[in-house]
Structure 1
């Protein structure tokens, strides 16, 4: 009989894994909090394996997934580890009542042919009476015209001229293609997946801090400089001052970049 630690005991804790991944990605707790909208005290608590501040298992799983994606690692093994350590997921509600409701649904009502026939008779009688009444008016009007009165030509309704449709606007040129020379313009497009990004102007003011989902784009401008942090640089197409930057970024790679009005010579 051997004495030693089991594989589960040797496995690092959830908080330790997230902390090491954050440090490896070059991110601070403040940056992770800003990109995930998870408050700083909760990020600290999770890295210390204290999930009591998350507000329950559902929120704890959501925070683990969000923080893991922000630091560039797969969240599912950590969620499975959390479930194993905290009693697993709740049992889903069985779908039997839904099918029971489908079985007891009442049959559609058959059409009431008697009521339909009565309605048809009433409609016919009304139409005949309407025709007779207006027939007498038409006769009087015809006799009056025959006596010599001339219809007023001015009373004839003139067709309303049709207003021509407004021409469709011609699509403008791309905002990047028309980048002003007196500013630095940076465009980020997530083409290979999502990425956490942070963008600041030359004074350090945050222009954007969050996730850029696949298919989304963001454009930033400043008078002097734009500073970038890309959490998953391999998924981003980067355009600076109207030119695409040919990079060699890898998926999951964290890049810190800075561009001015004269770039992308540096890129």
Structure 2
């Protein structure tokens, strides 16, 4: 508390001093409230020494100093009410929670984000995986990858390999490990004049003749279904009647020699990335397969 001010009676309460000073000025409570822009209840509470109604100490001290200044009294009288070093009430926690509950509340939002992310990404990855395995030939396998060799239908005539490839027997082919056949623009195998069938053999053959000078993955279909499917080895030959084919796919097409009624058939117009896909008309004409 500050030292007594000159001309101020310390025996009189602070509120009574305020009321006496106001009455000496000839002003009413309403005039004082309007001058200080405060409710009359605050002015009346200060004059009745009911400073607790003014709220926190910082507000009570501010209202009191403003009133003292307006009345012309020393502002140091406000220190009799509240010292500057007074502190407000300390905050106390209203409730306590367990450590496990605090951990759950802190990580609940992260768990929700993780679940939402998984619910979006997992279906997207599944759809992408399924789409990547689709095959336009309905078998789920690329024409350029190795696969087990299919058995030749018993009803189809199979020409024996030429003398130049007589050494390549089924037993020898089975003893070797199958190698993957990949699409490439570089021709595989030897030249057609060295490994192809003889001119006499081709000239005496009617219909379609497929002679393989290298490994090739094939799928040959007829009007009634699939005729040939699988990996055909170097030196093998397949023959079909003129009206027996409807759709053909040849992987590693540079390793395949195709003849129709003894005449060579060019596949450049239906070849892309070393894979030929074409359809066959009843007249023996070929055209690109739209699939």
Same fold (TM over 0.5): no
Relative contact order: is structure 1 or structure 2 higher (C-alpha 8 Å, sep ≥ 6)?
1
TM-score range, shorter chain: 0.3 to 0.5
Q: TM-score, normalised by structure 1?
A: 0.33
Computing the radius of gyration from Cα coordinates, the structure with the larger value is 2
